[in-house]
């Protein structure tokens, strides 16, 4: 049983992770937990891993499963055997435990656990199209399914494909910044950070220009489906996400059929043709893959741009240095990824009993690897609280580690390496204190009001 000091700290971290406020700066609390309890167990079976070495070990440990749907879909993980009713009871009990543990102030929030629970509940009873779609993606699969899907998608999504996108990314960046600088001030998230990666991924997939707005709308509904607070508190948000999942699947299935008969130079055609011996992706697998790429391809890069720019705006010397030394761009982008990562946590479920950082983790427990905390571990990074644009080495965990290492890492970097230098040329000035979003696993800004010079 954890000591009372550890519990008090753990409570604080849980509050911070889950509450819809306190998003401005999670790092002081991460630091305290990491220094004293890098592998911390909350009393309700959720582990928080904040130390760098432990986080890497956890991300690479095959006894920790990414197949979270089946865990929570299997009510034994919470409350013993039973059907959906038992699952709801299990989730309710978890919330009750959580409230008791962290204090009544957290009632308005919902943890990643609940997101997982909601996904599982909604997919396991066959009514949740969104949960059903999410649980089939390679992000939530283990080997051998994961190995097979990853191998096939890697044949289509290659570094060469990303390289060929450079001129188009440059064109889009110039176009969006041209529009943004036309006004005295703008919200960078809406004017630039969202449209850039979304247009890139739509074009990469081969979505005809006239249909891209539909994809944007569906994608926004799906992202809301990922947000535990919205889906738990607003049934219409969940219903919208389900409807978007059905519609986007039907639309993508249509595109796959078209591309099977008339291949083009796009990712859907390449996914349709990708083979490994006799093995090929089925149409329904291509649909799921494209839906994942659509969400993963924009919800993250958006926040690399937003989080990165706000970090730079708070350190004008770094902006001057980057402008004076453009060759810093590759390391600078990695440093922004480390400093305030768009993805702060990765969750796994223990498939077996295992030992991590000297603690015994029992089979069935959920392990939340707080990569955002590990990326500030002073045992791994010198002066981790400083933004050092030429930091090297910089083995941050912003793209994860191990078999689920981000498939789009090269694409995200290509976009950021073009976007940041172009953006900084326009001498951005912060106009108002920015608002952070309430989501937990994804860290990002609601809005970023700035002025840009021509
Ligand atoms: C700054 C931008 C990005 C960040 C910070 C990011 C972060 C991550 C992280 C942390 C994971 C691993 C999650 C885990 O281990 O549970 C991941 C996986 C993944 N990412 Fe990204 N990502 C970014 C951009 C992209 C882009 C642009 C795409 C595609 C267009 C993409 C596609 C994927 C896919 C498909 C996976 C699943 C890989 C697997 O399970 O094998 N990501 N990403």
158-168: pLDDT as tens digits: 888 999 999 99
Where are the extended beta strands (E) located within 159-258?
186-187
Give the highest mean pLDDT range of 42-51, 109-118, 187-196, 430-439: 187-196
Class of residue 60 by CB neighbours under 10 A (exposed 0-12, middle 13-18, buried 19+): middle
Question: Is there an atom of ligand 1 within 6 Å of 412 CB?
Answer: yes
Index of the ligand 1 atom closest to the CA of residue 347: 16
Cα 122 to ligand 1 centroid, rounded to whole Å: 24
Q: Relative to the CA of 149, which ligand 1 atom is closest?
A: 41
Residue 309 burial (CB < 10 Å; 0-12/13-18/19+)? Answer: buried
**Secondary structure element (H or E) that encloses residue 354, with its range:** strand 354-356
What's the whole-number average pLDDT of the chain? 83
Residue nearest to atom 40 of ligand 1 (CA): 139
The alpha carbon of 30 and the centre of ligand 1 are apart by a number of angstroms equal to 23
Give nearest CA residue, ligand 1 atom 35.
407
Q: What is the pLDDT of residues 120-132, one digit of tens each?
A: 444 433 346 766 7
Percent share of the chain, pLDDT over 90: 55
Please report the pLDDT score of residue 18 as a whole number.
58
Q: How far apart are alpha carbons 319 and 427 in whole angstroms?
A: 9
The residues that bridge with 354 in the sheet, in sequence order, are 361
CB of residue 139 inside a 6 A radius of ligand 1: yes
Give, for ligand 1, the residue of 271, 300, 440 to mutate: max count of ligand atoms closer than 8 Å to Cβ: 300
404 lines ligand 1 (CB under 6 A): yes
- 406 Cβ below 6 A of ligand 1: yes
Q: Which atom of ligand 1 is nearest to the CA of 397?
A: 10
Residue among 296, 333, 417 whose CB has most ligand 1 atoms within 8 A, to mutate:
296
292 pocket-lining for ligand 1 (C-beta < 6 Å) = yes
- Over the stretch 53-81, which tens digit does the pLDDT of each residue have? 999 999 999 999 988 754 433 333 333 33
Average pLDDT on 78-100 reads 44
Tell me the mean pLDDT in the region 368-380.
96
Q: Which residue has the higher pLDDT, 262 or 15?
A: 262
293 pocket-lining for ligand 1 (C-beta < 6 Å): yes
- pLDDT-based confidence at residue 87 (cuts at 50, 70, 90): very low
**Closest Cα to atom 27 of ligand 1:** 297
Sheet holding 346-350, edge to edge: 39-41, 46-49, 366-369, 346-350, 64-65
The alpha carbon of 182 and the centre of ligand 1 are apart by a number of angstroms equal to: 33
Residue 20 scores a pLDDT above 70: no
Query: What b-and-e string marks burial along 434-449, b requiring 16 or more CB atoms within 10 Å of the CB?
Result: bebbbbbbbbbbeebb
116: phi then psi, degrees, rounded to nearest 5: -60, -45
- For ligand 1, atom 11, the nearest C-alpha belongs to 406
Distance 407 CA to ligand 1 centre (A): 6
> How far is CA 15 from each of CA 7, 21, 93, 378, rounded to the nearest angstrom?
12, 9, 17, 24
Is ligand 1 within 6 A of the CB of residue 138?
yes
Tokens 């326009």: give the residue: 426
Q: Is the dihedral of CA 263, 268, 270, 273 positive or negative?
A: negative
- The residue among 33 and 256 whose pLDDT is bigger is 256
**What is the rounded average pLDDT of the residues 364-382?**
94
Inform me whether the pLDDT recorded for 95 exceeds 60: no
- Local structure of residue 343 (DSSP, 8 states): B
Res 136: pLDDT: 83
Q: Ligand 1 centroid vs 162 CA: distance in angstroms?
A: 15
Q: Is the CB of 398 under 6 A from ligand 1?
A: yes
Q: d(Cα 200, Cα 193) in Å, to the nearest integer? A: 12
150 touches ligand 1 (CB under 6 Å): yes
CA atoms within 13 A of residue 406's CA, in its CB half-sphere? 21
Atom of ligand 1 nearest to the CA of 153: 35
Confidence at residue 43, expressed as pLDDT on a 0 to 100 scale: 62
pLDDT (tens digit per residue) in 210-224: 998 898 888 878 777
């Amino acid at each position: 049983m954890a000591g009372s000091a550890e519990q008090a700290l753990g409570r604080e971290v849980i509050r911070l992770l889950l509450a819809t406020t306190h998003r401005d700066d999670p790092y002081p609390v991460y630091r305290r937990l990491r220094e004293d309890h890098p592998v911390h167990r909350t009393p309700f079976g959720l582990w928080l891993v904040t130390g760098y070495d432990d986080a890497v070990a956890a991300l690479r440990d095959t006894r920790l499963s990414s197949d979270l749907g089946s865990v929570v879909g299997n009510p034994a993980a919470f409350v013993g055997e039973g059907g959906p009713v038992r699952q709801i009871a299990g989730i309710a009990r978890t919330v009750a435990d959580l409230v008791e543990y962290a204090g009544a102030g957290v009632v308005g929030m919902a943890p990643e656990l609940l997101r997982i629970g909601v996904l599982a509940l909604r997919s396991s009873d066959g009514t949740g199209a969104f949960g059903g779609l999410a649980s089939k993606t390679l992000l939530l699969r283990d080997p051998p399914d994961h190995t097979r899907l990853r191998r096939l998608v890697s044949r289509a999504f290659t570094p060469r494909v990303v390289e060929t996108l450079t001129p188009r990314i440059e064109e889009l960046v110039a176009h969006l910044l041209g529009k943004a600088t036309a006004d005295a001030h703008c919200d960078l998230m809406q004017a630039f950070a969202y449209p850039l990666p979304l247009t890139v991924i739509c074009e990469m997939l081969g979505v005809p220009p006239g249909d891209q707005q539909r994809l944007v709308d569906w994608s926004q509904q799906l992202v809301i489906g990922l947000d535990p607070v919205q889906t738990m508190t607003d049934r219409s948000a969940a219903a919208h996400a389900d409807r978007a999942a059905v519609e986007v699947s039907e639309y993508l299935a249509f595109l796959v059929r078209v591309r099977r008969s008339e291949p083009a130079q796009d990712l859907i055609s390449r996914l349709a043709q990708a083979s490994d011996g006799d093995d090929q992706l089925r149409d329904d697998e291509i649909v799921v893959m494209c839906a994942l790429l659509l969400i993963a391809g924009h919800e993250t890069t958006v926040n690399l741009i937003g989080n990165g720019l706000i970090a730079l705006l708070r350190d004008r010397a770094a902006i001057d240095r980057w402008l004076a030394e453009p060759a810093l761009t590759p390391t600078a982008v990695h440093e922004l990824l480390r400093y305030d990562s768009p993805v702060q946590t990765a969750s796994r479920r223990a498939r077996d009993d295992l030992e991590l950082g000297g603690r015994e983790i029992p089979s069935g427990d959920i392990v939340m690897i707080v990569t955002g905390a590990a990326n500030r571990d002073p045992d791994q990074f010198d002066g981790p609280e400083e933004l050092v644009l030429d930091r090297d080495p910089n083995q941050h965990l912003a793209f994860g580690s191990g078999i689920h290492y981000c498939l789009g890492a090269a694409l995200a970097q290509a976009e950021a390496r073009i976007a940041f230098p172009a953006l900084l040329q326009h001498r951005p000035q912060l106009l108002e204190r920015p608002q952070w979003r309430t989501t937990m696993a994804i860290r990002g800004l609601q809005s970023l009001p700035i002025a840009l010079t021509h």
